[in-house]
Amino acid sequence: MATNSVSKLSMLVLGLFWLLGVQFVQCSVTYDRKAILINGQRRVLFSGSIHYPRSTPEMWEGLIQKAKEGGLDVVETYVFWNVHEPSPGNYNFEGRYDLVRFIKTIQKAGLYANLRIGPYVCAEWNFGGFPVWLKYVPGISFRTDNEPFKRAMQGFTEKIVGLMKSENLFESQGGPIILSQIENEYGVQSKLFGAAGQNYMTWAAKMAVGLGTGVPWVMCKEEDAPDPVINTCNGFYCDAFSPNRPYKPTMWTEAWSGWFNEFGGPIHQRPVQDLAFAVALFIQKGGSFINYYMYHGGTNFGRTAGGPFITTSYDYDAPIDEYGLIRQPKYGHLKELHRAVKMCEKALVSADPIVTSLGSSQQAYVYTSESGNCAAFLSNYDTDSAARVMFNNMHYNLPPWSISILPDCRNVVFNTAKVGVQTSQLEMLPTNSPMLLWESYNEDVSAEDDSTTMTASGLLEQINVTKDTSDYLWYITSVDIGSTESFLHGGELPTLIVQSTGHAVHIFINGRLSGSAFGSRENRRFTYTGKVNFRAGRNTIALLSVAVGLPNVGGHFETWNTGILGPVALHGLDQGKLDLSWAKWTYKVGLKGEAMNLVSPNGISSVEWMEGSLAAQAPQPLTWHKSNFDAPEGDEPLAIDMRGMGKGQIWINGVSIGRYWTAYATGNCDKCNYAGTFRPPKCQQGCGQPTQRWYHVPRAWLKPKDNLLVVFEELGGNPTSISLVKRSVTGVCADVSEYHPTLKNWHIESYGKSEDLHRPKVHLKCSAGYSITSIKFASFGTPLGTCGSYQQGTCHAPMSYDILEKRCIGKQRCAVTISNTNFGQDPCPNVLKRLSVEVVCAPATTAAEPNWRG
C-alpha cells in the first residue's frame, strides 16, 4: 500500500515537472520542444557533413579545424557498412575507414559528432552503403520487415555502437557523439511497403533505442518516427517542417549546400545567398539544429561512387572544396551567419517568436526572453525587389530574398544577401613534376580459352556473376558466317543490336573495338545498334559490360539489374534475324590486368610493357598505361588532369583514386540568380566541358620520388597529355558597396554605431606564404561583372589602382576603407558606388609582376 502511494506521488511530481517543461537530465544529452540540450543547456547547433572515407586521415584534422573556424559545433558522418565489412564477419577499420580515429579527431578539436549509422546511407555511395554480399544472404529483402535483413542490420548497428562505447565516444560517456541516426529517409519507402514498412521502421527505432547509447536517436524524413526518436527534415529548405510531436525539437539534418554531379552532366552550384537565406528562414521559424550536407564533400575514391554515373569528385559545391580548401565566399558568408545566429542564441532558445507583417512580402520574427534578451529577423520574400521596412521606429533596407539578423532587435549584424567576404580564385596550375617515360600494355581481348572463364546458355545478370569485385564483365560468343553471305560480296553489313540494363558496353568483333554505348543515371537501360564487319568463318563477339557504380537509392534497388540481359541479335544476315540471347556465352569477370595486379608496384612487372612513343602513335582501346613521377614540392593539393583521355580508372602507387570519364557536360548554363527557390537545374556550370577533368591525388599517397601512376583506358586516349597539377589560390576578389547616403540608418545596420569608425572596408587576404603581387582590377565607382570578369563602369575613380597598389602590393593581407576622400574625390556624386578589386596572389618570394593596367 505504502509503495503504491509513493509511486503515485512520484508519478504526480513527474507529471507536474513535465507540464512545467522541466527536463530530467538523466543523461547529458536530451531534448525538448525547443532544442537539443547538452548538460542541461538548450543549444542552437550548426553541424556539417564530412564523410571520413571521402578524404584521407591526414586531411581530417585540417578539415575539422576549418569546420570549427567556420562556426560549426558538430561534425556529422554516415557510417559506411560496405567498407567496414567487405565480407561477412571480416571488419576493416584501417586507414580511411578508421572511424574511431575520425571521431577522436572531432573530439580533439572540441566539437560534437553526429553519427548517422544508417546502415542504409544513400549518399551517392556504392549500393547505398550496403555490402554487395548482403544481397546474396538467402531470403533477404532490403529495408523491410524481413528477418535476414533485420538480423544483418542489427548486427552491424550493434557492432558500431559497441565500438563507439568501447572507446567511450558517446556524450553520455564523456565522448563527443551527441546524436545518432538509424535508417535514412525511410518515410517514402515506408508508405510504399505498407504494413511491412511500418513494422520495419518501428522495429528499427526500438532496436536502436534499445542499444542504450545515452544520446538521442534521429530518423530523417520519417514522419512516423516513434518516441523517443526525433524525426528531422532534409532538403534545400526546411522552414515548412515541424516534428511529429510538440515536445520534439525542429531539426534539419541535411541542408543541401550544393548538389552532386554525374558524368556527362553539368556542375551544380548553390548560391550562398540562397543557402544563408534558407538557414535564416529555418532559424527564424524556431529551428535549432542545422547540418550542412555537405560541408566537405571530398572524393569518391576507388569504386565507392554510387548512382550509377556519380562522378569521382563529390565536391558538392560545399564550403570546403573537394581538395580541402575553403571555398569563398561560401565558407566566409556562412561563418558570419553562424556568428550572427549565435548572438541571438539565448533569445532563440528561450522564447517563441512574435510574428508581425512589415509589408506584402516582408515579416519580422521577434524573440524576447524573460531575462530581456531580444533578437529579431527581418525578412523579405520578394524575389525581385528590395524593400525598405520600418521596424521599432527605424528604417531597414532588405535586398530581395533576404533576411537581416538583429541580435539586439536594433542593429543589423548580417543580411543573407549581402556578401561582404572576399571571393577566392582557385586554379589548377602546372607542377614541375613531369610524367616520366610512358609505357603501355594492351589488355588481352581474347579471353575465351582462359581457365577463369565460365560458360552458360543465355545472358546472365552482371552483379550475380562479378559480385561487384570488378566493374568489368566480358560476355563472349561466336557466330559462323558462311562464305556466301551477301554482305561479304558487296551487300549491306549486318547490324548488331545489344540491349543492356546498365551501365556501359564496348563491342569487340574479332578483337577490334567496333563501338560503345552508355546509359545514364535516369536511363540505365540502353541499346547499342551498329553495323558489324564479319569475315567468313568463325567470328568472336565480345561485349565488355561496364558498371559505373551501383544504385544507392530507389525501392528495392538490390533487385535492379546490371549488365546485358538482351536481347542480343544480328539483323541483316541472309537468314534474316539471328537471336543470340540464348546462345552459348562465355563469361569472364574483370580484366586480365586486374587479375595480374598490374596497378601495383608488385604486379607491374608481370607483363612486357611497350614503350610510350610506340603506344602514342596509335592509341588503343583497353590499354594499360604507366608512368612515374616525383612528388611536387609545396603543400598545395594535387590532381591529375585527364582531359586527353577517354574513360577508365586511375591508380597511384597501387591505390585507386577512382573512375575517370571525360564525358562532356550537357545542360543549361545560363546565368543564375540567387533569388527564388533553388533547385539543382537552376545554377549549372561547365556546359560543353568535361564534367570532371581533374582527379584528386592525396599528398599522403605519394612518396618523394618515383611514384607509380597506372591508368586503364577503355576507349583510347593519349596518355602523354596527362599531367599533374596543383590547386592554388591565384587571386582574391572583394566587392563592397559604400553606405547609401539617403538611408539614414544604413551605417548602423551594416557597420555599427559610429559612421567614421565603421565605414565599409575591403579586406583582401592571400594564403599563408603568398602575397599580393599585382592588382588585376580595381575600380571605385560603378564597376560591372563578377570576380574574374570585372569591368569598369561609367563611373570610375582614376586613383583606384594607385590606392590599392600602395596599400596591398607585397603584403599577405590588406584593407582599404571605402570613402570618397580615400579615392581623391567623389567620382560621381549622388550615385551609389562600390569598390571591386581583384588581386593576384603568388608565393611571397616571387617578384611583383607588372600590373595589368598598361
Binding mask 186-225 for ligand GAL (x = CB under 6 A): ----------------------------------------
Amino acid code (one letter) for 649: Q
598 neighbors 607 (Cβ within 8 angstroms)? yes
- Nearest Cα neighbor of 513 from 433, 363, 611, 619 is 619
Smallest separation, CB 123 to ligand GAL (Å): 4
188 vs 437 by CB, closer to ligand GAL:
188
All three cell numbers of 720: 602523354
Least Å from the CB of residue 156 to ligand GAL: 17
Q: How far is the CB of 254 from ligand GAL (least distance, A)?
A: 6
Which residues in the 9-68 window bind ligand GAL by CB under 6 A? none
Q: For residues 296 and 324, is the Cβ–Cβ distance under 8 A?
A: yes
**Does residue 114 bind ligand GAL (CB under 6 A)?**
no
**Angle in degrees, CA 805, 807, 811, rounded to 5:** 90
Fill in the amino acid letter for 648: G
Among 45, 79, 109, 122, binds ligand GAL (CB under 6 A): 122
Q: Which residues are paired to 441 by β-bridges?
A: 624
Peptide bond before residue 119 is cis, with ω within 30 degrees of 0: yes
Rounded least distance, CB 121 to ligand GAL, Å = 6
Number of H helices, E strands in the chain: 15, 44
How far CA 656 is from CA of 51, 155, 695, 733, in Å, comes to 18, 29, 11, 36
**For residue 553, what are the contacts with CB-CB under 8 A and spacing of at least 6?**
122, 128
Q: Distance of CA 464 to CAs 149, 454, 553, Å? A: 19, 13, 19
Distance in Å, CB of 184 to ligand GAL, minimum? 5
SS (H, E, C) 617-679: HCCCCCEEEEEEECCCCCCCCEEEECCCCCEEEEEECCEEEEEEECCECCCCCCCCCCCCCCC
- 184 vs 462, which CB is nearer to ligand GAL? 184
Of the candidates 56, 105, 172, 184, which one interacts with ligand GAL according to CB under 6 A?
Answer: 184
In terms of CB distance, is 667 or 783 closer to ligand GAL? 667
Q: Which is nearer to ligand GAL, 254 or 321 (CB)?
A: 254
Q: CB-wise, 294 or 645, nearer to ligand GAL?
A: 294
Q: Which is nearer to ligand GAL, 156 or 780 (CB)?
A: 156
**Which residue bears the cell 551594416?**
750
Instruction: Between 255 and 840, name the residue whose CB sits nearer to ligand GAL.
Output: 255
Closest distance of CB 772 from ligand GAL, Å:
37
Q: Is residue 260 a contact point for ligand GAL (CB under 6 A)?
A: yes
Question: Cell numbers at residue 345, please?
Answer: 542564441
3-state secondary structure 389-446: EEECCEEEEECCCEEEEECCCCCCCEECCCCCCCEEEEEEEECCCCCCCCEEEECCCC
Piece of 117-125, 335-343, 461-469, 539-547 that binds ligand GAL (CB under 6 A): 117-125
Q: Is 427 a catalytic residue?
A: no
Could you write out the three-class secondary structure of 244-278? CCCCCCCEEEEEECCCCCECCCCEECCCHHHHHHH
Under 8 Å between Cβ of 87 and 133: yes
C-alpha cell at 518: 552508355
Cell of 540: 568472336
Residue 124 lies near ligand GAL (rule: CB under 6 A): yes
The three three-digit cell numbers of residue 793, written as one number: 563602369
CB of 269 to ligand GAL, least distance (A): 14
Closest approach of ligand GAL to the CB of residue 206, in Å: 22
- In the chain, what's the furthest Cα-to-Cα distance? 107
Taking the complex as a whole, how short is the minimal distance between the CB of residue 185 and ligand GAL, in angstroms? Answer: 5
Q: Three cell numbers at 129?
A: 552503403
Per 3-state DSSP, what percentage of the chain is helix, strand, and coil (rounded to 5)?
Answer: 20, 30, 45
Q: Please state, as a whole number, how many other Cβ atoms lie within 10 Å of the Cβ of residue 825.
A: 10
Nearer to ligand GAL, 50 or 122 (CB): 122
Of the two residues 75 and 565, which places its CB atom closer to ligand GAL in the complex?
Answer: 75
Q: Which helix (H) or strand (E) element contains residue 160? A: helix 147-166
Give burial (CB, 10 Å; 0-12/13-18/19+) of 671: exposed
Write down the catalytic residue from 254, 336, 439, 713: 254
Q: How far apart are the first and last CA of the chain?
A: 98
Q: Which of 124, 185, 345, 805 is catalytic?
A: 185
Could you tell me the smallest distance in angstroms from the CB atom of residue 850 to ligand GAL? 46
Q: Are 439 and 627 in contact (CB under 8 A)?
A: yes
How far apart are CB 462 and ligand GAL at their closest, in Å?
A: 23
Question: Which residues lie closer than 8 Å to 101 by C-beta, 6 or more apart?
Answer: 57, 60
**Taking CB under 6 A as the rule, which mask of x and - marks residues 240-259 in contact with ligand GAL?**
--------------x-----
Judged by CB under 6 A, which stretch of 118-126, 335-343, 477-485, 642-650 contacts ligand GAL?
118-126
Q: Are 311 and 691 in contact (CB under 8 A)?
A: yes
Q: Which stretch binds ligand GAL (CB under 6 A): 121-129, 146-154, 562-570, 707-715?
A: 121-129
Type of residue at 107: Q
Nearest position to ligand GAL, beta carbon? 122
Separation between Cα atoms, residue 329 and residue 308, nearest integer Å: 31
Binding range to ligand GAL, per CB under 6 A, among 119-127, 472-480, 503-511, 702-710 = 119-127
Q: Does 76 bind ligand GAL (CB under 6 A)?
A: no
Q: How far apart are CA 515 and CA 557, in angstroms?
A: 29
Among residues 126, 234, 379, 817, which is the contact residue for ligand GAL, using CB under 6 A? 234
Size of site (CB under 6 A) for ligand GAL = 9
- The binding track of 140-179 with respect to ligand GAL, each residue x by CB under 6 A or -, is ----------------------------------------
Residue closer to ligand GAL by CB (options 221, 335) is: 221
**DSSP one-letter code for 353:** P
By beta-carbon proximity to ligand GAL, the closer residue of 63 and 123 is: 123
> Binding ligand GAL by CB under 6 A: which of 185, 315, 321, 594?
185
Residue span binding ligand GAL (CB under 6 A) among the ranges 122-130, 378-386, 623-631, 792-800: 122-130
Q: Should residue 123 be labelled a site residue for ligand GAL when binding is judged by CB under 6 A?
A: yes
C-alpha angle 553/557/560, rounded to 5°? 135
Which residue number, 102 or 316, has a Cβ lying nearer to ligand GAL? Answer: 316
* x/- track of binding to ligand GAL for residues 441-480 (CB under 6 A): ----------------------------------------
Distance (Å, whole) CA 785 – CA 792: 9
Q: For the CB of residue 259, give the shortest distance to ligand GAL in the complex, in Å.
A: 7
- Residue 127 binds ligand GAL (CB under 6 A): no
Given the rule CB under 6 A, which of 3-11, 120-128, 653-661, 697-705 is the region that contacts ligand GAL?
Answer: 120-128
Minimum Å distance from CB 741 to ligand GAL? 45
In this complex, which beta carbon is closest to ligand GAL, that of residue 683 or of residue 702?
A: 683
Binding segment (CB under 6 A) for ligand GAL, from list 65-73, 115-123, 694-702, 832-840 = 115-123
Query: Is residue 182 near ligand GAL by the rule CB under 6 A?
Result: no
**Is residue 492 flagged as an active site residue?**
no
Query: Which residues participate in catalysis according to the annotation?
Result: 185, 254
Contact residues for ligand GAL, defined by CB under 6 A: 121-124, 184-185, 234, 254, 260
